Each structure stands twice: as C-alpha cells, then as structure tokens.
Structure 1
Amino acid sequence: MSTIKFIDDALFCATPFALSYTDPDQKWIIRQHLNSLFRDFASLEPSIGIFTHNDGSEVKLLNANGELTVSRQAPPVPLTIWVHEFYPQMAPIVYVNLENCMYPVYENHPFVDYSGAIISSYLSNWNLTKCNLSDLVHNLIKLFSHNHPFYYTGSSNFTHQSIVSKMEAMDRLVCMIYYDMAANSAKTQEEIQNLWGIQGELEKRKEDIRVLIGGLGEERRRLKRRTEELSEECDELLNWLRVYERGSVFAIDDAFEALDEESESVLERLAADLGLEDLIYALDKAVEEGALTFEVYMKHIRVLAREQFLCRAKMAKIERARDFL
C-alpha cells in the first residue's frame, strides 16, 4: 500500500474505527502536509495509534515515525510525530522514542524532557499559516545537529552564524540560556547545601549556648544561695564579736562550749595532750641548743610522758564507752 493511499484511507474512513479528525477541510490540510513530509523525508512512515493526553483523554491519531538523520557523524534520532486532533490550529506532538535506544540520553537536555517530549521554539510559536510538518522536521535537524539528545563520540555540526535563520538563532539562544541556568542551578544548589550545613552548625552552637546559659544560671543561683548562707554566718560572727569585743574580761575557755560533761572531759584531755606535746617539743629544742642537760631533760620527759599516757588512756576509755552505748 502506498503512503498516499494509507493516509487517504485513514483520514476518510467512515467506520467506527475512524480517526478523531472531524472537519473535512482539516483532513485535506493534514493530507497535504503529511504527503509533503513523507516526500521530503523518506525515512519516516505513516501510522495510526491511540494517543493519551495529560488529562487522561484518549484520541485516535495519525503519526509519522522513523529515524531522523541529523548529520553524518551523529547517530539518527528515532522520532514519532503525532498529528493533533485540532491540527493545524494546534501544533503536532513530537517525541524522541527512548525505547530500545542504543545510546544514553542526556538527563538535562534543553529541548528533550525526561519522557522524550520535544520542546522547541518552532513548536512553542506554532502558527497555522506559516508552520507545517516538513518545516518542523527541518528545524529539528538543525536543532539536533548542535544539541543532539544522545551521548555519542563525535563533533557537533554548527552552521555559520551569517546564514542561520531567526528560528535557529532563537533555539541556540534558548540552548545557551538553558545551560547557563543549569550551571547556575547546580552552583545555587551547592551554595544552598553549604548554607544548610552552616545553619545546622549554628543550630548546634545555639543548643550548646542554651545549655551553657542554663548551667551558668544554675551556678548563679547556687552562688546566690551560698552568699546568703555566708551572709548569715557573718552576721552570727559579728553578733559574737559584739558580745566578746576587745576589752571584755572573760575566760577564754568559755568561748568553747561542750554538749555535755563527757564532751567537756574529752575537750580538756585533748587540750592537755596538745599542751604536753608542745612542752616535750620545747624540751627537745632546749637539749639541741644546749640550754638543758641531758639528765634534767630525761627527768622531765619521764614525768611528762607519764602524764600524757594517762591523758590518752582516759580519752581512749571515754571513746570505748561511747562505742558501747
């Protein structure tokens, strides 16, 4: 079956399997544009299929699919061009066929999104009186010649600036702006990540400072309580000094009060023991300096040692009595 007959049978079919094109004038325009497309690009073939729009609605449309050669160095680009149900008022829908593709696809291509849909200035500025399918494919060839959608080893084929069309210049401008935006976006994302890191560090420092301030507050309250306690003790000491001020006549032993007679006896024995210890030390120094003969020193030491022994024995007896109680 020839290409023209296939298109005529598909467009003018009156069975329940008819396509979604309803206007007779529209069908003749589609026939004319498709015939021109297949005459200019023999690698493309007509086909019929169900197209699902983004809103979920399904329509039965004509499409042209095949491999588009953009240059001798670059691999061909598999395309599917869907003729919209409101063509030519609406632009065709073009996809790069990503299934069974031999080459990896650029992740952030300026004209091909992740699903393979093509977005170009020609399609965005579609004009039913000036635009057609054949010119669209010519534009795609120029577009992909210097911005191929696939990773491959080869050089880009740039057209000299003096002979580029307005549409191609616009596509190149869009491409440059896209890559600039991608670079700036990556840099901005890096800066945002760095700022997030700084914010996290500041939050950590904020928490550390909050804990430190809480600790300092607790320390301040503790010191305040201690200051109040010391102030009370100072007042007690001042009151004591007012009672026993200089010039008053009182026994020094009255400054220390024991809890009971037993405690007072321990206190007296302890004072006597310390006094005897000091006296023995003084005798030792006197012998060293030659102020006292050894015979006299030994005589006094025997007496003092006996008294000290008795004093300590008395204190030990009191301690044993306390332990027994």
Structure 2
Amino acid sequence: MTLTVRDLRRILPKTYNHRREVLSEISTVLSQHQYLQPVLEKFVFNDGTAKMLINLTGTIEVIYNGKRYNIPVSLWLKENYPRTAPICYLKPTSEMVIVPSRHVNSSGEITMPYLDEWRHTQCDLHSLIQVIMAMFSEVPPLRMRLYPEDCKITIVVSLQQVLLIRVAYMRKSHM
C-alpha cells in the first residue's frame, strides 16, 4: 500500500518512538526523490520475528559511465529510527542480478560505514541516499540477466534429456 506523507501521519504505528522526525525526514526524501514511496509492510528479521515497518521503496538514480540507471531499493525504518540506522536492501527486478561487493551481499543487503557508524545527530535519510548513490555510481550493484529464466529452464531440460538418452544408450551397450 503506497502512502502519501499525509496518509503516513495518520497510520504511522504508535510504536514509532520519534514520529515527528520520521515524518519530517520522509517528507524531505519524497520532495527530492520522486520515485521513492513510503509503504507500511511486514519486515521479517533474521531471527524470524516480524513487524510492520515503514519502507521507503522505489528507485534511486545513479550515473555510471555517463549513463543514468534506476536502482531499485528498499529502506526499512525500524521503530526507533532515527536513533538506529535503516535496514537497506536492493530490490532487483526479475531481469536483474545482484552483483555482490564489499557494500552489497548476495541477498542484496546494503552494508557500508555510513550505516555502521550511524549517529542520529549527524545522519539522515537524505544523506544516506546521497551516499548510496555515490557508492553505486562507482560500483554498480546490479547487472542485467544474461539469459531470461526461460532459457535456463530450457537448457536444464535439454541437459536432462541428453543425460537420459546417454544412460539408456549405456545400458543397451552393457547388455
């Protein structure tokens, strides 16, 4: 469910400890990044617990080798945001593949010093997005899939058929 800041004010869970700051930062981000939207969604933590959290989801624009790319991201705000850093992930489409690096793991989680050293008095969503954009402009986190998923399935099926034919041939020759 996509929300405006007005909607967000109305439905922002009471569990958010710093509601005014959350709303202010989201408002700033939305005014500067038109392809990001706040969404209230369930986030499942590594320990299996789930919570309804605000997720800024959409794309941020990155310039790499003089070309513009829209990188799909999800920036999850925990209930004690801005006292704690957001949880940031790439959100690749089916045509994209994550390129793991020192700032992106194979599951798409974005890790970087700005998040590790988060200080609510010095860090905010707008600056975080600027740092992510700069980082991805140097080392793109995604690439296009070389082959559509259909081709992979066709290749696997073809290999299985070849193996079955070969096994059948070997059985006949040993009889």
- TM norm structure 1: 0.41
How far, CA to CA, are the matches of 1:151 and 1:92 in structure 2? 24
Structure 2 counterpart of 1:121, one-letter code: P
Rate the CA distance shift 1:49–1:122 in 2: closer, same or farther, 3 A. Answer: same
Q: Note the alpha carbon deviations across 1:59-97, whole angstroms, 9 max, x for none.
A: 111111001110151531100111111111110011001
Residue 126 of structure 2: aligned partner = 134
Question: Is 1:78 matched up with 2:72?
Answer: yes
In structure 1, the partner of 2:15 is 20
Distance of 2:41 and 2:32 partners within structure 1: 23
Cα shift at 1:2 = 7.1
Name the amino acid aligned to 2:96: Y
Q: Does 1:45 align with 2:37?
A: yes
Distance, in Å, in 2 between the alignment partners of 1:105 and 1:3 is 30
Where relative contact order (Cα < 8 A, 6+ residues apart) is larger, the structure is 2
Alignment correspondent of 1:116: 108
Match of 1:63 in 2: 55
Distance 1:19 1:64, change over 3 A: farther
SS in 2 for 1:135: helix
Share of identical aligned residues, percent? 26
Contact 1:19 1:61 in 2 (8 A): no
Please say if residues 3 and 38 of structure 2, whose CA atoms lie closer than 8 Å, have aligned partners that are also in contact: no
Say if 1:20 and 1:59, in contact at 8 Å, map to a contact too: no
Matching residue of 2:86: 92
Change (3 A) 1:52 1:19: farther
Q: In the superposition, relative to structure 1, how do residues 150 and 74 fare at CA in structure 2: closer, same or farther (>3 Å)?
A: farther
Structure 1 residues 50 and 4: CA distance shift in structure 2, 3 A:
same
Q: Give the aligned residue type for 2:118.
A: W
Offset from partner CA, 1:9-67 (integer Å, 9 cap, x none)? 122xxxxxx4632x3xx011101111111111111011110111111211111111001
Q: Deviations over 1:229-263 (max 9, x none)?
A: xxxxxxxxxxxxxxxxxxxxxxxxxxxxxxxxxxx
Q: What pairs up with 1:206-217 in 2 under 5 angstroms? A: none
Q: Judging changes above 3 Å, is the alpha-carbon distance between structure 1 residues 88 and 138 closer, same or farther for their aligned structure 2 residues?
A: same
TM-score when scaled to structure 2?
Answer: 0.74
* 1:4 partner amino acid: V
Instruction: Name whichever structure is richer in helix by fraction.
Output: 1
Letter in 2 for 1:35: S
How many Å separate the matches in 2 of 1:148 and 1:55? 30
Question: Would you say 1:103 and 2:96 are equivalent positions?
Answer: yes
Q: Retained in 2: the 8 A contact 1:82–1:92?
A: yes
Please say which structure displays the higher CA radius of gyration. Answer: 1
**Correspondence 1:241-256 to 2 at 5 A:** none
CA distance, structure 2, for counterparts of residue 64 and residue 139 of structure 1: 16
